[in-house]
Amino acid sequence: MRPLLVRPLFRSFSLLPLLLLTFFALPSPSEPADATSLDDAIHQLAERVAAIPNLRGPVYLQFLQDANFQTETGKDWQDTFRKEMQNHRVALTDDPSAIPLRIGLSETPTQLVLSASTVVAGKEEVRFFTFPRTAFRAANLPVVPVRIERQLVYQTPDHILDASSLWNGAESGMALLVSRNSELAVLRIDSSGQLTQTIELSSAGSQISRDPRAQLTIRANDASVLLPTKSCDFTWAASADTKCHPAKPTWRATTVLTPSCDAGGWKLFAEGPDWSTPDVLQVVPDGSLRQGSAALLSDFPGPVLSINGEQNPASALVVTKNLRTGNYEVYKITLACGN
């Protein structure tokens, strides 16, 4: 299990390379300086940017604001920085093909970081200022401390389409919907990760189609598999037949977890661009107007294929494909209380 800190949600551009350059690759004139407030940091950063040798305008300002501060700060700080640059006679333009000057506002567990990055004569120039988080509090950070605990519970070379916990109350195992050579099967896995039963669905004419979506629902005494054009029902009895019938699929809603310390709930979702790149599981307060206002993030070794809640309202099963090993993996995600 690994607890994760709250960190900002910013999917389209990562500030990590910028911050790494700042802390590890800067010459002495660009060593970090402390500010006492955001306005103070903006003023000092503008002075340092204007003093970069051979900086010639016009430059195109690109603001990289962490989303969990967006509601609190709006764009006022961006307008302030723009005015400061104009006061220092640095020419600005709205042409995105011009020299970019990237201005970022980011956070660490104890500080806020205001940074600037550009390239002058082929050389990376970075300036930044830090100030305590106590000097500026983002209103939308969750008041209740919640963390993610993540555990790898199963992996296999078989293509896992979905996972569900067993709902009989006595057994803490899970069931997996897998595809083997385009034939579907349901695997019953006990709490130690051992395979105890296999239900073949091929006899019912259930095969994976070009649409890879499939959903497994486990009930007390039976189960069903929902496919894009049909639904198949079965029981765990060895002699039971699988029965399929045409059905218009109604896919499960977004999983919402409710840890004991926060009845408001947290939504789980992933928005990877495709199934060939690593994904990030996003855990966002339910009812949030902005997805990025406050988020717990968990990086996965490949695309997230399915998310399904468990008997425990604070836990869910997440299926992913590990792009390094080629295996399909099931993780148990739990929202725990405390730092």
The one-digit pLDDT tens for each residue of the chain (339 residues) are 333 333 333 333 344 444 433 433 333 334 444 555 678 888 888 988 898 888 877 999 988 765 655 655 567 778 889 999 999 888 999 998 888 898 887 666 566 777 788 888 877 687 877 777 666 544 443 445 677 888 999 999 999 999 999 865 555 789 999 998 878 899 999 888 899 988 888 765 555 555 678 899 988 778 899 988 889 898 887 666 788 888 888 899 899 998 887 777 888 988 776 778 888 888 877 765 434 434 566 788 999 999 998 778 899 999 999 999 999 999 999 888 865
Based on the fold, state whether residues 110 and 226 are members of the same structural domain: no
Domain range holding 306? Answer: 146-337
Number of folded domains that form the chain: 2
Based on the fold, state whether residues 234 and 254 are members of the same structural domain: yes
Based on the fold, state whether residues 221 and 92 are members of the same structural domain: no
Based on the fold, state whether residues 31 and 108 are members of the same structural domain: yes
Based on the fold, state whether residues 272 and 170 are members of the same structural domain: yes
Neighbours of 37 (CB within 10 A): 13
Based on the fold, state whether residues 258 and 197 are members of the same structural domain: yes
Around 330, how many Cα atoms within 13 Å sit in the side-chain half-sphere? 29
Q: Among 106, 135, 164, give the residue marking a domain's end.
A: 135
Asked whether residue 181 is assigned to any structural domain, the reply reads yes
Bridge partners of 155?
329
Asked whether residue 70 is assigned to any structural domain, the reply reads yes
Residue 87 backbone dihedrals phi, psi, to 5 degrees? -65, -30
Based on the fold, state whether residues 113 and 156 are members of the same structural domain: no
Record the pTM.
0.59
Round to whole Å and give the CA distance between 148 and 22: 29
Asked whether residue 7 is assigned to any structural domain, the reply reads no
Based on the fold, state whether residues 331 and 258 are members of the same structural domain: yes
Round to whole Å and give the CA distance between 68 and 74: 11
Based on the fold, state whether residues 172 and 253 are members of the same structural domain: yes
